[in-house]
């Protein structure tokens, strides 16, 4: 660890960890954030994604300090919001919620906003929101029923995960695929580099890269 700041990923998401590993970055600590994700009255999807990413980063910064870890750490947090127009879709926890989301998305375009926040040891925050546009095919009742039966929608924003079965529903995507999965890689590297985190640290040793 010497010679570089520690990196704390403010998430327990295996998808976000896998995406970081894909680009040769291994967090020193995984500390999930627990913040109220309820949109404020009249809050737009882009603003919600940005606010939640910032809130997660700051909560985890405080948690780390209280635990006596990561005194020199850089915190990375992200949040993903799925929306149709101004309507923010929930993270589906029931089949009824998932069914409502999938029926709404069927045959139409929607947007996925992924907020990023990187906070340095001195508390300086760099933020970005990545906007990706996606269009789903028109789904038949049989397709919707089969998808709901899969259970893959559980806990997913908008009731789907693009890297899973629902990837077959995507007719067109404009923006960042990785942002829809949970972590836009280009923007993540840009923000980490801007705070002085050596993103190329593990690239110097090919054995550290995933899949090698």
CA–chain centroid gap for 139, Å, is 26
Both tokens of 59, joined, read 């909560």
Catalytic residue among 36, 79, 96, 131: 79
Q: Measure the CA–CA gap between 10 and 59, rounded to whole angstroms.
A: 9
Asked about 72 being catalytic, the answer comes back as: no
Measured CA to CA, the distance from residue 89 to residue 206 in angstroms comes to 41
Could you tell me if 4 and 74 are in contact, meaning their C-beta atoms sit under 8 angstroms apart?
A: no
Closest CA to 26 of 9, 46, 2: 9
User: Phi and psi of 72, rounded to 5°?
Assistant: -110, 20
Which of the residues are catalytic? Answer: 79
């Amino acid at each position: 660890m010497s010679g570089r700041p520690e990196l704390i990923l403010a998430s327990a998401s295996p998808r976000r960890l896998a995406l970081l590993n894909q680009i040769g970055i291994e967090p020193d600590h995984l500390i999930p954030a627990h913040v109220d994700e309820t949109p404020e009255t009249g809050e737009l999807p882009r603003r919600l994604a940005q606010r939640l990413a910032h809130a997660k980063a700051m909560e985890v910064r405080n948690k780390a300090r209280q635990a006596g870890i990561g005194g020199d750490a850089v915190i990375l947090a992200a949040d993903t919001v799925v929306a149709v127009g101004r309507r923010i879709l929930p993270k589906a926890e029931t089949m009824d919620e998932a069914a409502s989301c999938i029926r709404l998305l069927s045959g139409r375009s929607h947007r996925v906003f992924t907020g990023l926040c990187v906070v340095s040891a001195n508390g300086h925050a760099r933020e970005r929101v990545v906007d990706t546009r996606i269009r789903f095919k028109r789904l038949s009742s049989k397709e919707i029923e089969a998808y709901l039966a899969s259970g893959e929608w559980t806990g997913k924003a908008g009731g789907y995960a693009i890297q899973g079965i629902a990837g077959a529903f995507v007719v067109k995507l404009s923006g960042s695929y990785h942002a829809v999965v949970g972590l836009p890689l280009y923007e993540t590297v840009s923000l980490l580099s801007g705070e002085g985190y050596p993103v190329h640290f593990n690239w110097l040793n090919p054995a550290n890269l995933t899949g090698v």
